[in-house]
């Protein structure tokens, strides 16, 4: 039996959030499908205008139950209409899963659906969400969070990770991987992964420096000398060192440490590997060296990161 997936839009919603529809569309093409019945809902039905000006067609709210209810976000959160809030309270209680994309979390919070739950949203709106709705437990540096029947995601393309995780829950990990490949998604980011990326923070300008950083990220288990990175960029050591600092504002060694810390944190949060194994796999080799890098970057130790992840998993 097909599961109903209802996306909820309103005037000013972000069109990029509709990329999530493609995840379920592609799931329907998998062997044994279709698995989902997809619809776009709005309070009054008809054409709904996005923040970009592009309009989409929608059906009006009705009283039927749906399996999964997903609320889109907007560029700037605004007060919701009484009709939208009433629909979410009724349908949210009846649905197996209720979710928000980006600032759609403000809509769920206004409806009272996030009280006492762990939630996330776009990083730039997370503190405002916590201020306005103190009963929610906002975690600003997460791609998505699943707390019981309520799912929330970070902004923009995080909606794809959220919906891939839903398909994985429904159809299994291989189905989610197949869809990710078709969508040309490098991999589904886990919910615990940071919204921030060391590569994005470095912002290299030239292809050669980007090549060197991509090489480093693929080979963090190695020593990664400056000469090795310069070879990956097809530059002399002197040219590479000068260009690297000009483009990123950092030395190669500092940038590699940032990549190692990011990879190590992900391994600690998402696997059962010991601190010693993580240090070895991410190129720190010495756990003490990794501990010092974590203190410089996060202000706490790898052990505390691992303990926090275990507590979250237990919760």
CATH number, domain containing residue 158? 3.40.50.880
Q: Is the pLDDT of residue 201 over 80?
A: no
Any domain includes 156:
yes
Domain span at residue 249 reads 198-314
Q: Find the helix or strand (DSSP H, E) in which 108 lies.
A: helix 104-110
Instruction: Give pLDDT tens digits for 252-306.
Output: 999 999 999 988 988 888 788 899 999 999 999 889 999 999 888 877 889 888 8
**Which CATH number is 205's domain given?**
1.10.10.60
Judge if 207 and 93 occupy the same domain: no
Residue 47 and residue 105 in contact, taking contact as beta carbons nearer than 8 Å: no
Judge if 113 and 205 occupy the same domain: no
Residue 149 and residue 97 in contact, taking contact as beta carbons nearer than 8 Å: yes
Query: What percent of the chain shows pLDDT beyond 70?
Result: 92
Q: Is the pLDDT of residue 236 over 50?
A: yes
Any domain includes 139:
yes
Any domain includes 193:
no
Judge if 31 and 172 occupy the same domain: yes
Residue 290 and residue 263 in contact, taking contact as beta carbons nearer than 8 Å: no
More confident position, 11 or 271: 11
C-alpha 167/C-alpha 179 separation (Å) is 9
Token pair recorded at residue 63 = 């009283």
Any domain includes 174:
yes
C-alpha 294/C-alpha 260 separation (Å) is 10
Q: Phi/psi of residue 120, each to 5°?
A: -140, 170
Secondary structure letter of residue 17 according to DSSP:
G
Judge if 163 and 207 occupy the same domain: no
Judge if 96 and 210 occupy the same domain: no
Any domain includes 190:
no
Judge if 17 and 143 occupy the same domain: yes
Of 182, 210, 241, the domain-final residue: 182
Could you give the maximum distance between any two Cα atoms of the chain, in Å?
Answer: 68
Residue 120 and residue 153 in contact, taking contact as beta carbons nearer than 8 Å: yes
Instruction: Give pLDDT tens digits for 111-135.
Output: 999 999 999 999 889 999 999 999 9
Judge if 240 and 127 occupy the same domain: no
Give the pLDDT band (50/70/90) at residue 191. very low
Any domain includes 192:
no
Judge if 13 and 128 occupy the same domain: yes
**Coil, helix or strand at residue 292:** helix
Q: Phi/psi of residue 231, each to 5°?
A: -65, -40
C-alpha 231/C-alpha 252 separation (Å) is 13
Q: Phi/psi of residue 59, each to 5°?
A: -100, 155
Of 112, 147, 182, the domain-final residue: 182
Judge if 41 and 124 occupy the same domain: yes
Judge if 150 and 291 occupy the same domain: no
For 104-108, 185-189, 226-230, 280-284, which range has the lowest pLDDT when averaged over its residues?
A: 185-189
Q: What would the mean pLDDT of 150-174 be, rounded to a whole number? A: 92
C-alpha 73/C-alpha 7 separation (Å) is 11
Any domain includes 191:
no
Any domain includes 44:
yes
Confidence (pLDDT) at 187: 55
Residue recorded with tokens 């050669």 = 208
Judge if 173 and 207 occupy the same domain: no
Of 154, 182, 210, the domain-final residue: 182
**Coil, helix or strand at residue 215:** helix
Of the candidates 70, 66, 52, the residue with the CA atom closest to the CA atom of residue 11: 52
pLDDT averaged over the chain? 89
C-alpha 35/C-alpha 294 separation (Å) is 44
Judge if 110 and 208 occupy the same domain: no
From residue 124, alpha-carbon distances to 102, 150, 286 in Å are 10, 21, 35
């Amino acid at each position: 039996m097909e599961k109903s997936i209802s996306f909820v839009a309103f005037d000013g919603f972000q069109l990029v959030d509709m990329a999530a529809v493609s995840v379920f569309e592609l799931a329907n093409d998998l062997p044994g499908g279709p698995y989902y019945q997809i619809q776009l809902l709005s309070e009054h039905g008809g054409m709904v205008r996005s923040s970009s000006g592009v309009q989409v067609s929608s059906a009006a709210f009705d009283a039927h139950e749906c399996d999964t209810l997903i609320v889109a976000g907007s560029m700037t959160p605004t007060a919701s209409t009484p009709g939208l809030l009433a629909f979410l309270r009724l349908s949210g209680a009846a649905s197996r899963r209720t979710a928000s994309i980006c600032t759609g979390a403000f809509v769920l919070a206004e409806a009272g659906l996030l009280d006492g739950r762990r939630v996330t949203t776009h990083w730039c709106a997370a503190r405002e969400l916590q201020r306005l709705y103190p009963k929610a437990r906002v975690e600003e540096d997460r791609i998505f969070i699943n707390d019981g029947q309520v799912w929330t995601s970070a902004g923009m393309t995080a909606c794809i990770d959220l919906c891939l995780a839903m398909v994985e829950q429904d159809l299994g990990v291989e189905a989610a991987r197949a869809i990710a490949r078709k969508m040309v998604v490098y991999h589904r980011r886990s919910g615990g992964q940071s919204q921030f990326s060391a590569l994005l923070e470095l912002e290299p300008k030239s292809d050669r420096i980007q090549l060197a950083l991509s090489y480093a990220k693929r080979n963090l288990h190695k020593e990664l000398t400056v000469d090795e990175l310069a070879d990956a960029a097809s530059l002399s050591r002197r040219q590479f060192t000068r260009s690297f600092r000009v483009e990123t504002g950092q030395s190669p060694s500092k940038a590699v440490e940032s990549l190692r810390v990011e990879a190590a944190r992900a391994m600690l949060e998402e696997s059962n590997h010991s601190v010693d194994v993580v240090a070895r796999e991410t190129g720190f080799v010495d756990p003490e060296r990794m501990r010092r890098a974590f203190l410089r970057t996060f202000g706490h130790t790898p052990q505390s990161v691992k303990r926090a992840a275990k507590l979250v998993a237990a919760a």
